[in-house]
Amino acid sequence: MKKTIITCIALCAIFLACNNEEDATATPTDLFSTVEFEKIRLRTAQHFDDKLNSKLENDPEFARKYAENEEFVKVYSKVQEEKEKSGKRNLPIYTIKVVVNNIYRSQPLPMELIEGQIERLNQAFRGRLSGPSGLPSNARRFNAGDTRIRFELDKVKFRRNQRRFKNNTDLYARSTGGINPTLPGRRINIYVADLIVASGFEIGFVGDAGFPDEGDPEFDHVFIDALAFGVRPGSGKLNEGKTLAHEIGHYFNLLHLPGKTTETCRFDDAVGDTPNSTRFYFGDVSTGRSTTSCGSQDMYWNFMNNTDDSEQFMFTNGQRNRMRATLDPKRGSRRRLTNAR
């Protein structure tokens, strides 16, 4: 009982401190050690999978487009694999324009934090980040390195709103307290707001992303909670700007490594060089902890896992091909991004 009371007092103190925070670059590092935060990370991972599975089960038109797109991705990936074997692969650079929409309660995000986040996103997609020590000997074997995908900051939009949002969907339109998207379909609209701390940890996701062909272009979005946006000093958990790489991966058609479910090894993420897995990994994967499932080493250092920022550093060749298929100027489900001016 005493331990419970102390925990509640600590959480309340963090909540009050963060709501009174005037420095928009500060990160509530004490939050990262709480059981509540680990629940939020699990809720974030499950939300994406549940959302996709629900669309596939209840929206026949979405399911049809999804199946058609998967067939194209398979053909595209096979062609790229053959080119790589023959040494004839010459990937053009795709430059994607992004808009950052910041809905804030007290202080807007500083421009240097926003610019630093886009720089970190480019570093992630160019394969310029190093991994942690203690990785398995073959950890870098399938590292794609440079995906030849670049991001350019096109515009930043701010709106002050002291409302405590109940969901991130309301952020995507001015009529519900947020910001209308800029050129949906031709820009990646990234929304940043404080939902987790402002709600006292009761609601919110670390990040969220629309899936290709998900429907209404007005909800063609990426969301990052303010505590996970940007490169900041701190614990290495969510302060290195890698949550955005994870969510952009979803936006470009990547699944979590276990695929649409963790219940069986029969399902995977539709990528040939990521091992089948039935486990999500959260936090710091310390030495001595089991990191295998389905009879093989799990890729906990991959951007599409859910470990701390300090653990993640790579996409695989197969993930690169899947993302580039989504951006293919002729057939890709997000080709309007590639062809945008």
| Domain residue ranges of the chain, discontinuous segments joined by + | 36-338
Please name every residue paired with 185 in a beta bridge, in sequence order, or none if there are none: none
Kindly report, residue by residue over 248-281, the tens digit of the pLDDT.
999 999 999 988 766 678 778 889 899 888 788 8
Kindly report, residue by residue over 100-152, the tens digit of the pLDDT.
999 999 999 999 999 999 999 999 999 999 888 888 877 888 899 999 999 99
Tokens 């963060």 locate to 18
Kindly report, residue by residue over 144-166, the tens digit of the pLDDT.
999 999 999 999 999 999 988 98
What is the rounded CA–CA span in Å between residue 50 and residue 177?
A: 26
Q: pLDDT value at position 248?
A: 98
Answer yes or no: pTM beyond 0.85.
Answer: yes
Query: Three-class SS string for 50-110?
Result: HHHHHHHHHCHHHHHHHHHHHHHHHHHHHHHHHHHHHCCCCCCCEEEEEEEEEEECCCCCC
Composition of the chain by helix, strand, coil, percent to 5: 35, 15, 50
What is the rounded CA–CA span in Å between residue 63 and residue 68?
A: 9
Lowest mean pLDDT of 57-71, 238-252, 260-274, name the range. Answer: 260-274
Mean pLDDT of the chain: 85
Kindly report, residue by residue over 305-320, the tens digit of the pLDDT.
988 898 899 999 999 9
Distant-in-sequence, close-in-space partners of 252: CB < 8 Å, separation ≥ 6? 149, 212, 322, 323, 326, 327, 334
Percent of the chain predicted with pLDDT > 70? 85
Q: How confident is the model at residue 60 (pLDDT cuts 50, 70, 90)?
A: very high
Whether the Cβ atoms of residue 100 and residue 156 lie closer than 8 Å to each other: yes
Does residue 187 surpass a pLDDT of 60?
yes
Distant-in-sequence, close-in-space partners of 115: CB < 8 Å, separation ≥ 6? 153
CATH number of 36-338: 3.40.390.10
Please name every residue paired with 135 in a beta bridge, in sequence order, or none if there are none: none
